[in-house]
Structure 1
Amino acid sequence: MIQFPYFDIILRSVAVYFFMTIALRVFGKKELSQLNTADIILILLISNSVQNAMVGPDTSLTGGLVAALVLFVINYIIKKLTRKYKIFSNLLLDKPQILIHDGKLDFKTLSKLDISDEELKEAMREHGVEFFKNVKLAMLEIDGTISIISEDEKHLKQTHYKRKHNRKNLQKF
């Protein structure tokens, strides 16, 4: 029986990819919408920490390229599956969440998503909306942005606001 020398790297890379996908899902993918210095450092440290888990003792150029190729292929397959099959989409992708509807705040959703009153007001101010009652619809999109649709008598206006990280939570690290 012929043994494929990079089979171990392929298995390790697949395992790391799914671990990272699950970790991002659990720890808040919406936080990736706007990266700050601490987030970039975290990403760099995570990539360094999982490198050995993917390539094991093979630190050759070929081993690294095989691991990278596997990650690209898995990512491509996952994207195709999420577009084609709703079950994969539901499992891997977040859904947009309604934060304000017709001027009424959804406090349960805001609390669950840990979106503060000040974050919501900042998003509104950034797009010229002064009062909650003037917001027809505010949603947290799957990419972490807050979409604001306000309606006045003359026109319908839609704007986006990238959610910033809560500084208090970053100080825990």
Structure 2
Amino acid sequence: MSAWEMVLRTVVAFVVLYVWARILGKKLISQMTFFDFVAGITIGTLTGSVIFTSTIPLWVGLLGLSVFALLCLLTGILSLKSYRWRGVLNGKPSLIIKDGKIQEQALSKNRLTIDDVLFLLREKNVFYLDEVELAYFETNGQLSVLKKPDIMPVTRKDMKFHRSSRGLPHNLVIDGKIIAENLQAIHKDEKWLLSILRAQGVSDISEVVFAQMDDGNSLYFDLRDDRSPRLH
């Protein structure tokens, strides 16, 4: 491929890509679904092939790029017009926490770990699982959180009431595994934790999906079955 042909391919591919980018519209990265992300990468890859693959005629490469971009445009229009198609293409939000209870099946379906959920909650300034009434994992990978009513607004300033901070949470059990270093940080041991759980009717640590304690020594734990989470 000569230098002039490379320049020509680059200029033409740039113009075509720019036109399709304008037609397809703009969307914030935070609003992109997985399909949007994959489609964007594919369009970029096709553009690179048009420029660098001399064995593919320029018009053939541009045709492939344009057909793929047109399909993306059509699926976007269909998702706007049809609720059912939008669900098929983009998926639907998943309820992953209900009344402070982690929905294990939803986590498995979305290939999320408890550590992932805790990270997403911290991004929403939620450090304690028992404060969450509902949490949805959105199709763009974001987490939408509804706090329990007694955690919501008005409190301190409006009521002239001071409440001490709960401090940073200490995650003691994750996926049925005791986090020894966190127990040591609060000067407790496994024997103490197991005795507390047994007193609450939990005979096997593997039954516990998640357990955490605040600086006030309030222990919250979520069980693997459908029993309600508890605060000790």
TM-score w.r.t. length of structure 2: 0.41
Inter-CA distance 32–122: structure 2 relative to 1 (3 Å threshold): farther
Q: CA RMSD, aligned part only?
A: 3.4
The answer as to whether partners of 1:137 and 1:149 remain within 8 angstroms in 2 is: yes
From the CA coordinates, give the structure whose radius of gyration is larger. 2
Structure 1 residues 78 and 147: alpha-carbon distance in aligned structure 2, compared to 1, 3 A threshold: same
1:31 to 1:62, Cα distance in 2 relative to 1, 3 A: closer
Q: Which has the higher contact order (CA 8 A, sep 6+)?
A: 1
Partner of 1:140: 137
Equivalent residues in 2 for 1:57-96, closer than 5 Å: 59-96=56-93
Query: How high is the sequence identity, in percent, across the aligned residues?
Result: 23
Aligned to 1:97, which of 82, 94, 97?
A: 94
Shift of 1:136: 2.2
SS of the residue corresponding to residue 80 of structure 1 reads helix
- What CA distance in whole angstroms lies between the structure 1 residues aligned with 2:33 and 2:81? 23
Q: Which residue of 1 aligns with 2:153?
A: 154
Q: Find 1:122's aligned residue among 108, 111, 119.
A: 119
Partner of 2:109: 112
Query: In 1, Cα distance between the equivalents of 2:73 and 2:132?
Result: 38
Mark the CA change 1:84 to 1:109 in structure 2 (over 3 Å): closer, same or farther.
same
User: Unaligned regions of 5+ residues in structure 2, if any?
Assistant: 1-31, 155-232
- Counterpart Cα distance in 2 of 1:73 and 1:135: 42
Unaligned 5+ residue runs, structure 1?
1-28, 156-173
What secondary structure sits across from 1:147 in the alignment?
strand
Which structure shows the bigger proportion of residues in helix conformation? Answer: 1
- CA distance in 2: counterparts of 1:84 and 1:30, whole angstroms: 17
Q: Tell me the number of residue pairs that the alignment of Structure 1 and Structure 2 aligns.
A: 114
2:161 counterpart residue number: none
Change (3 A) 1:106 1:73: same
d(CA) in 2 for partners of 1:96, 1:31: 13
Distance 1:119 1:31, change over 3 A: farther
Q: Give the TM-score of the pair, scaled to structure 1.
A: 0.53
**In structure 2, distance between residues paired with 1:69 and 1:58:** 19
